Amino acid sequence: MRLKDKVAIVTGSGAGIGRATAKFFANEGAKVICVDIDGDKAKEIADEISKEGKKSKPLELDVTDEKKVNEILSNLINDEVKIDILVNNAGITVTGSVEDLTIKEWDRQMDTNLRSIYLMSNNIWKHFKNNKGGIILNTASIASKIGIANDAAYCASKAAVEMLTRCMAKDGASDKIRVNCVCPGFVETPNIQGYFDAQPDPQAARDFAISLHPIGRMGKPEDIAKGFVFLASEDAEWITGSSLVIDGGLLTALP
């Protein structure tokens, strides 16, 4: 097992990529702290993992709330003694062009996708330094590399996640804090379904998304979870500041 006896925090673990990542980490021997703004969903996945004889516990937390993150993460660090891995996966999609987006929508997008990563990483950084190392993994997107019409805030937030990952990797290298991100293509999650539903013709949008992937299908949450497991494992001990693209060949097919 590649993550035996490690302790990992996974945000946004109530559904989609976060849920799959929590399960895959547990299967690889990690104790998983399942974090979600929806406490019931966090408990659901934690219970599912525990019923399989693996270690997990739920944690209800709004990762955009500075006061709550400071308080709850501090208590969690004290309880767990040593945390090894932080997966910043919580995210949403707010659709619209710059012309259409309200400042409230823009801020909500940036708070959830970017501010949350800063808050969680900032709070755990000293703990990782004191333990002479740690791993931070962020969910970016192929949208960090290309522009998508009517998706301005989302694309901007994910591009910022990728750059923040590089900066944190440089800041943490001397303290053996590795920081990487994963850039998924279109993945079958509630988040992407919300994006399709916001389009004039949801089925046409879905069909078009599938057609972009040379492999012939959209991704599954498990496809991304496997990437996170690799980056969290010793197999990736010389990898930091990288963006692992898992997109079914989407980027290779673009002109």
Q: Which residue among 125, 154, 186, 228 is the active-site one?
A: 154
For the chain, what is the total number of helices (H) and then of strands (E)?
10, 7
Q: Is 154 a catalytic residue?
A: yes
The pair of three-digit structure tokens given for residue 224, joined into one six-digit string: 């991304």
Contact (CB, 8 A) for 153 and 109: yes
Q: What distance in Å separates the CA atoms of residue 109 and residue 106, rounded to the nearest whole number?
A: 5
- DSSP class per residue in 152-170: HHHHHHHHHHHHHHHHHHH
State the alpha helices, DSSP H only, in the chain: 16-27, 39-51, 66-80, 103-110, 116-130, 152-172, 190-197, 202-211, 221-232, 250-253
Q: Which residues are catalytic?
A: 154
